[in-house]
Amino acid sequence: MVRVRFAPSPTGHLHIGGARTALFNWLFARHHKGKFILRIEDTDRSRSTEEYIESIIEALKWLGLDCDEGPYRQTERMEIYKAYAYRLLQEGKAYRCYCTPQELEARRQQAMKEGKPPRYDRRCRSISEKLDKPFAIRFKIPLEGESTVQDLVKGPVTFKNSELEDLIILRSDGTPTYNFCVVVDDFDMKITHVIRGEDHLNNTPKQIHIYHALGIEPPQFAHIPMILGPDRSRLSKRHGATSVLSYRDEGYLSDAMVNFLARLGWSYGDQEIFTKDELIKYFNLQQVGKANAIFNAEKLLWLNSEYIKLTSEEKLLELVIPFLIQEGYLKEGETLDLAWACKAIKSLKERCRTLKELAHAMRYYILDYVDIDPKSKEKYITEKTIPLLREITEKLEALEEFTQDKIEKIFMDMVNEKGLKLGQIAQPVRVVITGSTVSPGIYEVLEIVGKEKTLKRLRRVIHAS
């Protein structure tokens, strides 16, 4: 039974990189009909917050990455780590280190200055008696030999033990450290595959030594490449929106985000668009690339527009309502006629790339009056076009059935009578009705806006001039 975990530390919102790690784990679990476990690595109490834990869970939920177990919290398991650490101490596989953080820091600085590797010199490793001083517990790394990580993505990676440091597993305040907790937890939670960011690759040999010291078999490892910002450095706040939830708030669909994330570092031939089921069916670690990937916001935007096109009008309506409320086009609790709203969305869905854009475009369907863009007004609402607007208003007013084809006939008749080009009348009307020169087809727009609002807007403009 495959068991994988996503183990974020709640020191920030779930970002793009973390989300992809979570996704790969989730896909791997679902593909193998295994379990996906969430574990919160909050041993750094000073930087972890409840708010971030909730935010991460919310983001996972939005992405649809449901977990089968957890969230477990490391802070609730402190006694377990402590017991394992003392067991290693008793068995002589770890030792008390009496060096203070200040001393260690000073020595590190010194070593750096001399151009030497800033590694702990193991001076406490040989102290056999117990001193009456505060101590941390350090793990004994074998002095010689080498260890190889059989990585499912990178292949075999070998490290010399002499390059590894005796790491602290229990701090002097009795709290355990990351590299130790992971091992204990992954063992305790029966994790079979550790799929995580490449930034952990260098930690892996240390962890493997801890597994061996504990007398347990390490899980399989898969280190996936990093996601970099456009400047090729690690994705961070200064690259703008990197929090997954900020994309939700900007009107991205979670399936588009999932699809985007999946294709960052993984591929399946030339296919670009995948349903979740396809992703589950096709996902494998062999197809995960080895090279880092740069986050390409343009492609995400494109994917989002593709997903909007693929989504039903009913579903889009449901999704766009919060944005309509946010934009102030709809009051909380107010509803729209379902059939009418779907027609409106249908006319707009292929020209909007986000739900936010869709909501904004819907303003001219929903509101009584719209603000007219000054430049468009200057160009299209002129003394030449006002008579045309007046005439078309009269004709539209006389129309019994305010439908697309009837409206079209009125426009075409007028164009033919006067020898105009359609644009000469369509554009002024568009500007009056939608407030700008850009919209779906004018007949469609008028039908959806409806006779009443159409006439109101036309008359207001005519009377104002």
Partner RNA sequence: GGUCCCAUCGUCUAGCCCGGUCGAGGACGUAGCCCUCUCAAGGCUAAAACACGGGUUCGAAUCCCGUUGGGACCGCCA
Report the distance separating Cα 325 and Cα 101, nearest Å.
53
Binding-site member from 75, 192, 437, 451 for RNA (CB under 7 A)? 437
CA-wise closest residue to 338 among 317, 359, 311, 309? 317
Q: How far is the CB of 262 from RNA (least distance, A)?
A: 9
- Least CB distance from residue 352 to RNA, whole Å? 7
Alpha-carbon gap, residue 273 to 265, rounded angstroms: 15
CB 187 within 8 A of CB 160: no
Q: In angstroms, rounded to a whole number, what is the distance separating the alpha carbons of residues 107 and 29?
A: 45
Select which of 61, 237, 309, 315 is catalytic.
237
Among 31, 32, 34, 44, binds RNA (CB under 7 A): 44
Distance CA 262, CA 273 (A): 10
Q: Phi, psi at residue 97, to the nearest 5°? A: -115, 125
Pairwise CA distance, residues 202 & 447, whole Å: 63
Give the sign of the dihedral formed by CA 88, CA 89, CA 90, CA 91.
positive
User: Could you tell me the smallest distance in angstroms from the CB atom of residue 430 to RNA?
Assistant: 6
The whole-angstrom distance between residue 300's C-alpha and the CA centroid of its chain comes to: 10
Task: Assess 443 for contact with RNA (CB under 7 A).
Answer: yes
Q: Take residue 107 and report the two structure tokens written for it.
A: 């020595």
Given 1, 291, 339, 464, the residue binding RNA (CB under 7 A): 291
Name the residue nearer to RNA (CB basis): 233 or 335.
233
Active site residue 237: yes
Structure tokens at 342: 């779907």
Interface with RNA (CB under 7 A), residue from 263, 316, 365, 453: 263
> Contact between 32 and RNA (CB under 7 A)?
no
Residue of 21, 25, 43, 242 that binds RNA (CB under 7 A): 43
Instruction: Specify whether the CB–CB gap between 38 and 5 falls below 8 A.
Output: yes
- By CB under 7 A, the residues from 301 to 320 that bind RNA are 301-302, 305, 309
Q: Which stretch binds RNA (CB under 7 A): 30-38, 63-71, 365-373, 440-448?
A: 440-448
Q: Looking at residues 102 to 161 of the shown chain, list those that interact with RNA (rule: CB under 7 A).
A: 104, 108, 115, 117-120, 134-136, 154-155, 157-160
In the bound state with RNA, the residue whose beta carbon lies nearer, of 162 and 326, is 162
Window 356-415: residues binding RNA (CB under 7 A): none
The full DSSP string for 93-128 is SEEEE---HHHHHHHHHHHHHTT-------GGGG--
Residue 287 interacts with RNA (CB under 7 A): yes or no = yes
The answer to whether 326 contacts RNA (rule: CB under 7 A) is no
Measured CA to CA in angstroms, residue 160 lies from 142, 143, 147 at distances of: 10, 9, 6
- Least spacing, CB of residue 294 vs RNA, in Å: 4
Report how far residue 284's alpha carbon sits from residue 277's, in angstroms, rounded to the nearest whole number: 13
Site for RNA in 219-238 (CB under 7 A): 225-226, 228, 232-234
76 scored as a contact of RNA (CB under 7 A): no
Among 200, 212, 356, 406, binds RNA (CB under 7 A): 200
3-state secondary structure of 187: helix
Report the site for RNA in 169-198 (rule: CB under 7 A).
Answer: 171-173, 175, 177-179, 198
Nearest distance in Å: CB 247, RNA: 15
Just list the catalytic residues: 237
